[in-house]
Structure 1
C-alpha cells in the first residue's frame, strides 16, 4: 500500500477512504503492540481493518454526514478502531482530552453539538451529567451483545459511501494555552496532504516500529503519530504508562525504531541516562562526558555518527534498534538535540499548529540544524510579516504566515476569529514570531500573544526565560507573567516545603538573575506546591497563570502546604496505575506520611519528600508486609518520582508475605554474590593484606607524619564498631595505619561503592583488605545486611556514619544506619577522630599536601547508655543523637589538643 496522496478522485472518494479500506490487505502484519502491566497485546492489520469497516458501517447508519462524534477515553485498540471508523463513515472524529475540566468539557460538547460519544465506563457518570441527551458508547465493554458496547454497533455487511475530500474529517479543540479552546475542523484533504508529506520526509522507513507515548487527542500525535505510520503500513507501539521504566520497556521489548514525542520526553530520557551514569561514580561520569564530547565533535565537524559505537551498551539496553527521535509540539532545545545526536540517534524536528494539520516545516533525520525547525514542506509557502513584530525585534523577524493544502478553513462557530487569522487569499497568521534564514530554514522565536514587552521596550519570550530560571536545582518549574509592568513568576520549588523555602528560592532567583540582563530579572514571585497548569503536551496555560499567582500570593506560605492530589485530578494513565493493589497501597502510605506536601505522581521522592536511604528501607519493608512486593536495590536505584515507584511495584514480582528485615535477618537478604564479601581470607589473600597494611603504615607515617593517640583504649577482642569522622579520602588510610595489624585482620570496612568498587583494581583491593560494599542511596538494604552479618559473625566494623566527606571538616549529621546496628547488636562503639586529613586532601583537590595527620581513639561507649542520653523518636535515633553529640565534642577537644 502506498502512502495517502493529495490527488482526489470523486469516484473513489478521498485518499483517507482508500487508506482505511486497504488496511485489511496487510493481513497478519502487526498494526499495534500495546503494553500492559505484565504483558503486551498484538493486533494485526487484518483484525483491526475488519473491525474498523464494520464499525464504520454501524456509525454511518446512525450519524449524519459531517456530524461530530466525540472520543473521550484512554487510548488503545478500541479507541483507534473507533477513530478510524468515524473517519471512514463520513462523520467527523472529535478526540477529547480526558483531563478537560468540567467547564471546558461542557463548552466543547455544546459548541460541537455532539450526539454520540465513544467513551469508557470511568467517564460515564461525568458525561451523563454534562451531556444527558448524548448516546454513550463504551470502548471498554467488549461484549458484542452489550447495549452500549462499541461492538454492538458493528455491521458486517454493507457498503460505505465515498467521502468528499473537502468534507470535514476531524475536529480538534485547541489546548487552551491562552483562553477557552476553539474548534478547528480539518478536512479529508488537509489530513491526506499531511500523510503524503510524512511519506516524503524520510522520518520512517518500511518495517519501522513507531513508539507513540503521547495522548492522541492532540493533532500532532493523532495525525503524525497514528494516521501517518498506519498509512505507511508501520507498527505502532504504545507503552503501558509514561514512566521511565515503562518507556524503556516499550522501546526494548517493542523493538521500537522511531519515537514520535515531545521535547519534555526527550529531556527526561537524556536526564535519566546521565543520572544512571552518575550513580556509577566519578570515573564513569568522566568517561561518559569524554565520549559524549568526542561523539559530538565528530557529528558536528564531519557528520559522523560515533554514538552507536561509543555507547553500544546503552543502545543494547534499549533493544539496539532505535534510530530516529522525532520531536514536535513545542521547541526542542538545540543543546539537547545535539546531545541526543551525539548518543547515536538521529533527531527530526517539525513545526506546525492545529490549524495547519499540523506540519508546516520539517528538519528531517540526518540534516539537523539545531535552533531551526527546518524548511517548509513541499506544497507549503511561508512568509514573514515584519509589521506584526513588536518594536525592538531583530531585522527580518515578524509573524509567521503560511499557505498550503493543509490550512484549515476556519474556526467552528467563530467567524470573527477566523477573519483575524485567515486572509481572503488563503494566508494563515500563525501567531508565532520568527524569521527565515538565507537557506530557507525557519527560526521560531515565540508567540505574539505571550510576548512580554517591558517599559524600556525590551522583548521577552517567557518560555525561554522560564527555562533559564528553572535550571537552578531549587526550582522545579516556573511560569513568568507581567504584573504592574514588572516581571513576576509563579514558582513550584523542587522541595515540597520547609521553614527556609522562601529564602532558598530567593537565593536561587538571585543567583540566576546575576547572570541575566537587568530587564530579565524578576521583581517578585509567589510559591506554590501545586504544579503549573499545562496542556497535555507540556505547554503552560498562560491564561490561568494570573489567577494562580494571585491565589498563591494571597495564601503565602500556606500555598506550600497542600493535600495530596485528588484522584479525579490525575491523568487517565495515573489512575490506571492506581488500580494495581501495591500501587494503591504505596500512594495511601505516602499520602498518610506526607499529608501537606502537595503529593502528586510527579513528586520527587528525595528532593521534595525527603525520602532518604533509611526511609526507603521503611517504605520497602512496609510495602512488603502489606503487599508481598519486594523492591530490589536495583529497582530503588531507578526510582526518582512517585510514578517511578508505582511502575517498579508493578514490574516487581510478589515475594513472601513479610519482607526480611536486613538487620534482624541479614542472611535472608543477601544473595550469593553479596555473601562472597564476607568469606574468610586465607593464604595468599591474607598475606597480601598484611603486606598492604604494612606498606600503608610506612607511607602514612613517612609522608604525613601520622601520630596516633589513645590506641590502648581499643577493646582487645570481640566485635565492635569504630565510628570515624570523614573529611578526606585519606581518612581510611590514616585509620588503617593507626591500627595494629592483628586487629585489622578482625575488622571489616564500610566502603562506598562509588569509590571502593568502581573498577577491577579497587574491587580486588577491597576484597583483600575486607571492604564491604556500602551504597547509602540505592543499596541500603544490602548494605545494612552486610554490616549486620559482620557483627553477627563476631567481627568488627570500621564505619563512617556521616555517609560522605564533610566539605568544611566539621562533623555532619549521622545517617540512621549506625543507630539501627547498635540498637540490634549493642556492641562497643569507639569514636575515632581524624584531624589534618581535611587539609592534606580536601574535597576537590587531586594531589595531597604533605601535612601532618592525627588519629585519636576515644574510650568505647555503651549503646545502651547512649540510648538513655540521646533524644529521638525511637532507640536508634537516640543512639545516633548521643553519639553525634559525643563525637562533636571529642573532635573539637582533639583539635585543641
Structure 2
C-alpha cells in the first residue's frame, strides 16, 4: 500500500471542485518517506482512492470558510457579563494581526509558539497566527508544573510563549533562563503586574506588527506546504515522558473535514452549529472539535469561563444553548453524579416521576437504537412531562448531538444518559491519528461501540486471537508525521508499511462497529499466564457500586487479582483537590445501608462493617460473571483519598495514569499480597 505512492512534488490545482467547496490545493514539499522526526521535514501523504480531494493548508481552509461564512458570527466571548461576538472575517483579520506581531518578535520558521492557558478567542488567534507566521502551534496544559512547561517549551524550541495570566506567567518566569530560544512572552488576560523586558500585554502585542506588510505575511503563508508540520500535540505522558506529535496541515484540514462529516455536523450554509469550548485545547480532541472543525464547518464557538470544570459550565450551556457538545468521560460522569444527587433530594412524588420517565426513555432508546423505529407514545409523554426540562436544566434544550472522547466511556454513563434521551456518540482515536479514526454519530450508532471508521480512514487488526480481537492499526491522511526528534519512538509507532499501531485491543462486528476491549500496555498477565484486560472488570465494579469513584485492577505477574478503590468525594472548588467529605451520592448510598458515614475516614480500615460488606457483595456479583477463576478479584482496599489531576493519578483529560498509581501506592498494593 505505502510503497506505490508517488513522492514527487505535486503542483497546485486551482479551483478543484468538491461537493462542499471550491479551494485551491496546496502544492506539496518534496518527500520520500511517510514519516519524519524532523520538525522542518515533509512527508508523503497516505492518499487512497477513497479520499481523492486535494490537500490544503490551514490558511487555505480558513480563507475558504471566510469566503463562505465571512459575515456570520464565529466566536462568542463573555465580557462584563455580556456576550460579545465577532464574525469570521474579523476572526481572520485578528489572526493575521497576531501573525504579523509574531513575525515582528522574530518567530523563526518551524519554531514553536507555546500557548499556556484556558480557552479564549486570544488562544485561537495565537494558534492560527503562529501557523500563518510560519511557526509551530504548541499547546501546554494549564495544569502543568513549571518543569512540565519547560519540557514542552524547550522541546519545541519555542520563540514565544503566550500565557493566560499572572499565575501562568509565574511558571514561565521560573524557567525562562533555561529556554535559549525564547524571545518574548505575551499575556492575554489581566493587567501586567510587573514590567519585565520582552513581556507584552495582549494589546501591546497586537500593535507590534502594524508596520509588517501584507506581502511579507502572504509570502510566508504562500511558502507553506500541506505535508509540512504546523501543530505539535504533546502526549500526556501516562507511560513515560511526553512525546511531541507532529501534525501536518493536511492532517489537520483533512481530519476536520472528515471527522465532522462522520459526526453529522452541518455546514453553516445549511445550519450553523454552535458549541461551548472548555476542554484543554492542548489536547487533540478539543482542538479538532472546537478550533479546526469550527473553522471548517463555519460553527459558532462560545468560550466558557475558566472555572468551567469547577461548576460554571452548566451556567454557560444554559445561556448559549449549543447544538453540539463534547465531553470527556469524567465530565459526563460528574454530570451524571450531580443529576443523581438532585433526583435523590426531590420529594417522593417527583422522584417517582423522574425515575419512571428515565426508565421509559432507557427502554425506548435501547429498543429503537438498532432498528430506527419510532419511539412509543409513552416515551413522548415521559419526554414532554419530565425529560425536556431535565435537559434544559443542563443547558441542552437545543443540543442535538452529544460526543464523548479522549478516554473509554463506561456503560453506566451511556445508559444513564439514554434515560435522559441523550445518545453519547463515542469517538476513538489518538493524538497520532489527529483525533478520531472511528466515530459514532446519528447515522452510525450502536450501543457500547465507538461507531465506524471515519470515511477515508482504514484499519486492520494485528495479532488476532481466537475471539477475533487484535491490536487496532490505523491508515489514512490523518496519521501523524512522526514524533519530534524521536526517530526510535516513531519507528515503534509505525510498522514497516506505515500503519500506525494504536496499542489498543479491539474487534469489529459484521457491520463495522468497533468494540474496544483494552489497552495492550494495560493488559494484566497473571503469574499463571492469563491475559486480562482490566477495563471491563473495573467498569463492572463501578456499575455495581455507586459509592466507588475509581477502581484500578492489580495483578500483573501476581498469583491473583486485587483492586484499589476510591470513594466518591467532594472536591475543593478552588484547587479541585479531593476532600475527605463523601459526595452526596456516596452519603445517600451509606444511608441506604443504615450507615451514618459522611467522611472517607468513617469507612476505611473496616470501620464501617455495613459499607465493607456491601462493597464485598458488589465485588462478589462482578466475580460471578467472570469468565475464569483467574479473572476474579480476590482482595481489595479503599484508599484514603480519591484520584485527581492535582494528585497525579489522573492525566489532564482525566485518564488513569496506571504506572504512576502503581508507584504511588506500592505499600498498599504489597499489603494485599502478603501471605
Q: TM-score range by the shorter chain?
A: 0.7 to 0.9
Relative distance call for 1:35 and 1:482 in structure 2 (3 A) is farther
* Corresponding residue pairs, total: 551
Q: Deviations over 1:377-420 (max 9, x none)?
A: 12111111125xxxxx5521110011111101221121111111
- On the 8 A contact 1:325/1:346 being kept in 2, the answer is yes
> What is the distance in 2 between the residues matched to 1:474 and 1:315?
25
2:579 aligned residue: none
Over the aligned positions, Cα root-mean-square deviation in angstroms equals 3.2
Q: Displaced runs of 4+ in structure 1, greater than 6 A?
A: 1-7, 553-556
Q: 1:462 to 1:199 in 2, by over 3 A?
A: closer
Deviation at 1:268, TM superposition (A): 2.7
Distance 1:24 1:153, change over 3 A: farther
8 Å contact from structure 1 (residues 59, 86) kept in 2: yes
Closer, same or farther: CA 126–312 of 1 in aligned 2, 3 Å: closer
Find the aligned partners of 2:249 and 2:525 in 1 and give their Cα distance: 40
SS at match of 1:176: coil
Change (3 A) 1:500 1:293: closer
Match of 2:98 among 50, 55, 58: 55
Task: Give the drift of 1:270.
Answer: 3.2
1:343-396 per-position Cα deviation (integer Å, ceiling 9, x unaligned): 233432211000000111111125420121111112111111125xxxxx5521
Task: State the partner residue of 1:9.
Answer: 26
Q: Take 2:520 and 2:55, find their aligned partners in 1: how far apart are those partners?
A: 39
1:527 is aligned, of 625, 629, 639, to 639
* Structure with larger RCO (C-alpha < 8 A, sep 6+): 2
1:150-549 → structure 2 map (5 Å cutoff): 150-154=202-206, 155-156=209-210, 157-159=213-215, 160=218, 161-162=221-222, 163-205=224-266, 206-240=271-305, 241-243=307-309, 246-302=312-368, 303-304=373-374, 306=379, 308-310=383-385, 311-317=387-393, 318=395, 320-365=397-442, 367-386=444-463, 394-471=466-543, 472-482=545-555, 485=558, 486-494=560-568, 495=582, 496-498=599-601, 500-503=603-606, 504=608, 506-515=612-621, 516=623, 517=626, 518=629, 519-525=631-637, 527-529=639-641, 531-532=643-644, 533-549=649-665
Q: Which runs of 5+ in 2 are unaligned?
A: 1-17, 29-53, 569-581, 583-598
| CA offsets 1:10-69 (integer angstroms, 9 cap, x no match) | 399934112333565545532222347955443333332211111112224522222222
Show the 5 A alignment for 1:678-693: none
Structure-to-structure mapping, 1:668-707, within 5 angstroms:
none
Distance 2:542 2:511 in 1: 33
| Change in CA separation of 1:527 and 1:36 when aligned onto 2, cut-off 3 Å | farther
Determine helix, strand or coil for the equivalent of 2:438.
strand
> Given the alignment of the two structures, is residue 138 of structure 1 paired with residue 158 of structure 2, yes or no?
no
Distance 1:445 1:36 in 2: 45
Q: Distance in 2 between matches of 1:293 and 1:31?
A: 39
- Tell me how far apart the structure 2 counterparts of residues 478 and 165 of structure 1 sit (CA, whole Å): 44
Asked whether the 8 Å contact 2:411–2:539 carries over to 1, the reply is no
* Deviation of 1:552 (Å): 5.8
Correspondent of 2:60 among 9, 18, 23: 18
- CA 1:112–1:489 in 2, change beyond 3 Å: closer, same or farther? farther
185 and 257 in structure 1: CA distance in 2 versus 1, 3 angstrom threshold = same
- Cα distance in 2 for residues equivalent to 1:553 and 1:299: 41
| Alignment-derived partner of residue 117 in structure 1 | 161
Specify the SS of the correspondent of 1:70.
strand
Is this contact kept in 1: 2:604–2:639, CA < 8 A? Answer: no
Instruction: Return the index of the structure with the highest Cα Rg.
Output: 1
Which of 188, 193, 200 aligns to 1:148? It is 200
1:65-111 alpha-carbon deviations (Å, 9 max, x no partner)? 22222111222121111111112222110101021234433333332
How far off is 1:123 after superposition?
1.9
Distance 1:498 1:167 in 2: 55
CA distance in 2, matches of 1:68, 1:7: 27
Q: Deviations over 1:854-877 (max 9, x none)?
A: xxxxxxxxxxxxxxxxxxxxxxxx
Q: CA deviation at 1:491?
A: 3.3
